C-alpha cells in the first residue's frame, strides 16, 4: 500500500539560489587568484539527520545503502544478513523497535522537504523479521577479558549494555527481579504490539553469545550492594521505572485508582481479565494509549460473554465494545493537536470508540460513600512552560467513572538501593553515564530520565563503552557532539579489500598520490549534520512512500495476529532506494558528467569503496563549483582555499 504523492506538499527543489542571485559576479575575482583555483572539491562525510536524531545511534544511512544494493556484502553473505549486522552494531532489537519505536528519525528525514520521509521503521522491521526467520546469530567475541560486570535489570537498557559488553569480551550477568527478561518491552507493551515470540527471539539471540542471567533476584533484597562489589568488576544500573505515579490531587489514593504501569503489568501477566463499565484514563502519552486500547480489548471480550457468536469479525467486536462494554475516556492537559502520544496510536484508540478530551486538568477524584472513586472533576486549562494552568472562568465539569487510571509518569523503585539513589526516584548519571561518587558504577535507561525505548538502548551502548574504558584503567573518551555509530571509511576500504600503506613518518608535500592517506576526504560526522539545504534535491524524483499494511485494532482483537505486517522484499528494496544518502556519496555520476574540465573522475578499478567513488584531479580543477552544485547528497564541499 502506497501513500499518494498528491497528498503531500511537494515543493520545487531544483533551485539552489534565491531570486536575484542568478547572475554571477566576476569569475576572475571570485574563482581565480594568480592562476590557481581559490576553492576545489573536498569530499566531506557528515551525519544525516535521521541518524543524528536516533537515540540508539544506528547507522541508518549505512544499512539503507545495503538494502538498496549500493553497499554490497562479501561473497557468502546475503545482503539481508549484511544489513542486519550493520544495524545491530547499535541496536540488537530491530524486529521489536521496527514495531514500537515512534521513529524520531523519520520526522527528521531530509526527504520530508521533497515529498515524504523514508519508511525507516518499516525497513527496520523487515530486517528484524528476516533475521528471526533465517536464524541469524551474533558473532561471539574475538577475545575474552575475564572481567565480570553485573547488569542490574533486564530491560532494553540492561540487555543493550550486556550485549555491547559481551561483544568486547567481558562477561556480563543480568540480575533481573522478574522471571523473564524484557522489562517494559515485556511487561509494559501489549502483546498485540510486540508478539512474545518476536521479543523472545531477540532476547535469546543476546543470551546465546554468553550473557548470563540470574532471574527472580532483586538487588537490595536478595542480593546486597556489598556482594555486587565483591563479585563483579563493574556494575550497570538499568532497573527502569516500574512504579507509576499518581497526581497529588484529593482522592487519588482511592482503592480503584490505579497507575498505568500496574494496569499494563497485570494485563501482560494474565492477571487482568475484565474491566468495569466506565473507565477514565488520565494521561496523553503512548502509555495512556496502551491503557485505553487494553481496556477496550477486555471490554470487547467481556461484552460478548453472553450470547457470543461463534465467528467474530472486527465490526462485531467493535459493536459489542461500543454497545455493552466499557466506556473509556482519555483526558489530557494538552490540546488534542499537541498530545504527546503518536498520531497513529491516537487514531488506533479512536477507532475503538475511545473518547479523547484535551485541554482539561483533573482537580479531584470524586468518592462514593464507601470511599471508592466514582468520577473525576475537571477544569479547562492551558499549558505554560509545560505546566497546566487553570483558565479562570473556564468550564468545570464532572466525569463519572468506576475505575480511574493514572498514566502520567513513572519512577524507580529504589527500596534497599538508597546508596545510589539521588532522592528523586532516580539515579544520577555523568557524561558517560557513570554514577557520580560511585567508581565502577554506571547507569542508563528510564531510571536516569524516562524517555523512549530506543533511548534506553543508546544509554546501554554508551555506558558499555564507559565500562570498557574503566575496566582497562583508562579515562572514558569524551563523547562527540553528534554521538552515533558513524560510517567508517577505513572499514569500508577494508571491506572492499583495500588496505592503506603504513605512514612513513616523513614530511611530504601533498597526499594525492600517497598510499597512506585518503586524498581530499574530510570526516566531520562527529560534529556536523547535513541539512536539506545542503543537498541538490532537484536530482530526486518525488515518489510515494511504500507503507506497511496496518490492520485495525478491532480486527487484531477479534482475529489475532499482527497489527502491522512487514514489507515484502521487493517493497523493502524499493523503499530503501528512496533514501537520499545524505552526507555520503550516492554514486550518481553527476559530478563526473557535469565537470567542464573533466577534473572529477571515477576512482580506478580495484580502488572503489562506499564513500570512495570519485576523486578530483587538482591540476585540472578550476574551482567552478559545478560538482558541488549538482551533488545530490551534499558530499562535495568546496574548500582547500581558505
Closest to 138 in 3D by CA, of 172, 89, 181, 95? 89
CA quadruple 328, 329, 330, 335: dihedral sign = positive
Chain-centre distance for alpha carbon 429: 21
> Once rounded to an integer, what is the mean pLDDT over residues 2-16?
48
> Once rounded to an integer, what is the mean pLDDT over residues 549-558?
84
pLDDT value, residue 409: 87
pTM over 0.75: yes
Q: Strand 32-33 vs strand 36-37: parallel, antiparallel, or unpaired?
A: antiparallel
Per DSSP, what are the bridge partners of residue 399? 376
Using the 8-state DSSP alphabet, how is residue 526 labeled?
A: T
Q: Both ends of the chain: CA-CA distance in Å? A: 50
Closest to 151 in 3D by CA, of 166, 138, 168? 166
Q: Compare 390 and 553 and report the one with higher pLDDT.
A: 390
Name the least confident of 312-316, 403-407, 491-495.
312-316
Q: Compare 2 and 533 and report the one with higher pLDDT.
A: 533
Can you tell me the distance from the alpha carbon of 449 to that of 390, in angstroms, rounded to the nearest whole number? 27
Residues 237 and 443: beta-carbon distance below 8 Å = yes
For 402-438, give one letter per residue: b (16+ CB within 10 A) or e.
bbbbbbbbbbbbbeebeebbeeebbbbbeebbbbeeb
Which structural domains are found in the chain, ordered by start? 148-242+412-471 (3.50.50.60), 247-407 (3.50.50.60)
pLDDT in tens, 56-88: 999 999 999 999 999 999 999 999 999 999 999
Q: Which residues contact 176 (CB under 8 A, 6 or more apart)?
A: 153, 154, 158, 213, 214, 215, 216, 217
| Position 228 pLDDT exceeds 60 | yes
Closest to 581 in 3D by CA, of 528, 633, 527, 524? 633
pLDDT value, residue 351: 84
Q: Could you tell me the pLDDT band of residue 599, with boundaries at 50, 70 and 90? A: very high
Closest to 95 in 3D by CA, of 195, 191, 239, 234? 195
Q: Could you tell me the pLDDT band of residue 301, with boundaries at 50, 70 and 90? A: low
| Position 319 pLDDT exceeds 60 | no
Residues 87 and 94: beta-carbon distance below 8 Å = yes
Per DSSP, what are the bridge partners of residue 108? none
Q: Could you tell me the pLDDT band of residue 477, with boundaries at 50, 70 and 90? A: confident
pLDDT value, residue 320: 39
| Position 302 pLDDT exceeds 80 | no
What would the grid cell of residue 245 be?
A: 505515579
> Once rounded to an integer, what is the mean pLDDT over residues 560-573?
93
Q: Could you tell me the pLDDT band of residue 17, with boundaries at 50, 70 and 90? A: low
> Once rounded to an integer, what is the mean pLDDT over residues 282-292?
91
pLDDT value, residue 510: 66
Residues 160 and 459: beta-carbon distance below 8 Å = yes
Q: Could you tell me the pLDDT band of residue 484, with boundaries at 50, 70 and 90? A: very high
pLDDT in tens, 320-334: 334 446 799 999 999
Name the least confident of 6-15, 124-133, 545-554.
6-15
pLDDT value, residue 4: 42
Residues 382 and 389: beta-carbon distance below 8 Å = yes
pLDDT in tens, 246-264: 999 999 999 999 999 999 9
Helices (H), 283-396: 286-303, 314-324, 343-351
Task: Measure Cα distances from 163 to 87, 88, 386 in Å.
Answer: 14, 10, 36
Residues 273 and 332: beta-carbon distance below 8 Å = no
Can you tell me the distance from the alpha carbon of 359 to that of 355, in angstroms, rounded to the nearest whole number? 14
Per DSSP, what are the bridge partners of residue 359? none
pLDDT in tens, 608-642: 999 999 999 888 888 888 999 999 999 999 875 43
pLDDT in tens, 199-217: 999 999 999 999 999 999 9
Q: Could you tell me the pLDDT band of residue 303, with boundaries at 50, 70 and 90? A: very low
What would the grid cell of residue 13 be?
A: 527543489
Name the least confident of 82-91, 160-169, 503-512.
503-512
Q: Could you tell me the pLDDT band of residue 274, with boundaries at 50, 70 and 90? A: confident
Can you tell me the distance from the alpha carbon of 379 to that of 365, in angstroms, rounded to the nearest whole number? 13
Q: Compare 299 and 473 and report the one with higher pLDDT.
A: 473
Task: Round the average pLDDT of the chain to a whole number and report it.
Answer: 88
Closest to 119 in 3D by CA, of 489, 111, 452, 265? 111
Q: Compare 365 and 273 and report the one with higher pLDDT.
A: 365
Amino acid at each position: 500500500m502506497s501513500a499518494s504523492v498528491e497528498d503531500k506538499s511537494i515543493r520545487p527543489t531544483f533551485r539552489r539560489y534565491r531570486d536575484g542571485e542568478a547572475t554571477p559576479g566576476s569569475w576572475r575575482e571570485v574563482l581565480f587568484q594568480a592562476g590557481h583555483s581559490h576553492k576545489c572539491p573536498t569530499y566531506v562525510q557528515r551525519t544525516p539527520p535521521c541518524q543524528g536524531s536516533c537515540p540508539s545511534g544506528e547507522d541508518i544511512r549505512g544499512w539503507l545503502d545495503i538494502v538498496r544494493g549500493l553497499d554490497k556484502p562479501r561473497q557468502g553473505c546475503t545482503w539481508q544478513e549484511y544489513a542486519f549486522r550493520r544495524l545491530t552494531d547499535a541496536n540488537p532489537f530491530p524486529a521489536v523497535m521496527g514495531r514500537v519505536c515512534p521513529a524520531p528519525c523519520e520526522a527528521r528525514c531530509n526527504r520530508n522537504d521533497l515529498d515524504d520521509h523514508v519508511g525507516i521503521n518499516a525497513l527496520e522491521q523487515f530486517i528484524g523479521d528476516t533475521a528471526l526467520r533465517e536464524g541469524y546469530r551474533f558473532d561471539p567475541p574475538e577475545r575474552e577479558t575475564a572481567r565480570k560486570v553485573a547488569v542490574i535489570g533486564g530491560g532494553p537498557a540492561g540487555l543493550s549494555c550486556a550485549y555491547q559488553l559481551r561483544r568486547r569480551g567481558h562477561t556480563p550477568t543480568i540480575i533481573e527481579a522478574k522471571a523473564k527478561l524484557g522489562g517494559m518491552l515485556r511487561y509494559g507493551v501489549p502483546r498485540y504490539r510486540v508478539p512474545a515470540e518476536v521479543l523472545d527471539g531477540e532476547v535469546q539471540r543476546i543470551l546465546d553469545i554468553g550473557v548470563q542471567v540470574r532471574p527472580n533476584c532483586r538487588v537490595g533484597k536478595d542480593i546486597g550492594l556489598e556482594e555486587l562489589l565483591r563479585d563483579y568488576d563493574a556494575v550497570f544500573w538499568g532497573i527502569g521505572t516500574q512504579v507509576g505515579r499518581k497526581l497529588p490531587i484529593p482522592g487519588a489514593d482511592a482503592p480503584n485508582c490505579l497507575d498505568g504501569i500496574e494496569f499494563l503489568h497485570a494485563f501482560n501477566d494474565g492477571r487482568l481479565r475484565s474491566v468495569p463499565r466506565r473507565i477514565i484514563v488520565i494521561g496523553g502519552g503512548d502509555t495512556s494509549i496502551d491503557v485505553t486500547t487494553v481496556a477496550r480489548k477486555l471490554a470487547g471480550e467481556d461484552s460478548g460473554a453472553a450470547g457470543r457468536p461463534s465467528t467474530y469479525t472486527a465490526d462485531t467486536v467493535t459493536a459489542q465494545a461500543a454497545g455493552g462494554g466499557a466506556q473509556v475516556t482519555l483526558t489530557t492537559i494538552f490540546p488534542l493537536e499537541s498530545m504527546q502520544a503518536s498520531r497513529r496510536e491516537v487514531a488506533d484508540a479512536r477507532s475503538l470508540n475511545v473518547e479523547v478530551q484535551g485541554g482539561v486538568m483533573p482537580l479531584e477524584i470524586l468518592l462514593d460513600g464507601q470511599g471508592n472513586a466514582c468520577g473525576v472533576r475537571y477544569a479547562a486549562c492551558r499549558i505554560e512552560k509545560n505546566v497546566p494552568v487553570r483558565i479562570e472562568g473556564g468550564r468545570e465539569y464532572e466525569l463519572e467513572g468506576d475505575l480511574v487510571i493514572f498514566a502520567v509518569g513513572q519512577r524507580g523503585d529504589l527500596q534497599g538501593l538508597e546508596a545510589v539513589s539521588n532522592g528523586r526516584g532516580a539515579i544520577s548519571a555523568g557524561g558517560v553515564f557513570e554514577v557520580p561518587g560511585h567508581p565502577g558504577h554506571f547507569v542508563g535507561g528510564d531510571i536516569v530520565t524516562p524517555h523512549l525505548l530506543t533511548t534506553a538502548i543508546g544509554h546501554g551502548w554508551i555506558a558499555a563503552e564507559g565500562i570498557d574504558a574503566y575496566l582497562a584503567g583508562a579515562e572514558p573518551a569524551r563523547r562527540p557532539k553528534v554521538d552515533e555509530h558513524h560510517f567508517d571509511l577505513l572499514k569500508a576500504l577494508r571491506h572492499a579489500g583495500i588496505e592503506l600503506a603504513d605512514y612513513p613518518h616523513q614530511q611530504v608535500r601533498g597526499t594525492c598520490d600517497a598510499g597512506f592517506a585518503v586524498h581530499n576526504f574530510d570526516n566531520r560526522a562527529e560534529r556536523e549534520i547535513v541539512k536539506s539545504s545542503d543537498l541538490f534535491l532537484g536530482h530526486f524524483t518525488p515518489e510515494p512512500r511504500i507503507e506497511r499494511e496496518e490492520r485495525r485494532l478491532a480486527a487484531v482483537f477479534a482475529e489475532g495476529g499482527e497489527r502491522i505486517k512487514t514489507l515484502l522484499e521487493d517493497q523493502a528494496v524499493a523503499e530503501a532506494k528512496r533514501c537520499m544518502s545524505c552526507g555520503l556519496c550516492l554514486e550518481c555520476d553527476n559530478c563526473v558528467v557535469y565537470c567542464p574540465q573533466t577534473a572529477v573522475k571515477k576512482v580506478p578499478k580495484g580502488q572503489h569503496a562506499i564513500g570512495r567513488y570519485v576523486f578530483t584531479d587538482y591540476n585540472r580543477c578550476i574551482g567552478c563549483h559545478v560538482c558541488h552544485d549538482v551533488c545530490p547528497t551534499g558530499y562535495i564541499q568546496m574548500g582547500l582555499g581558505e
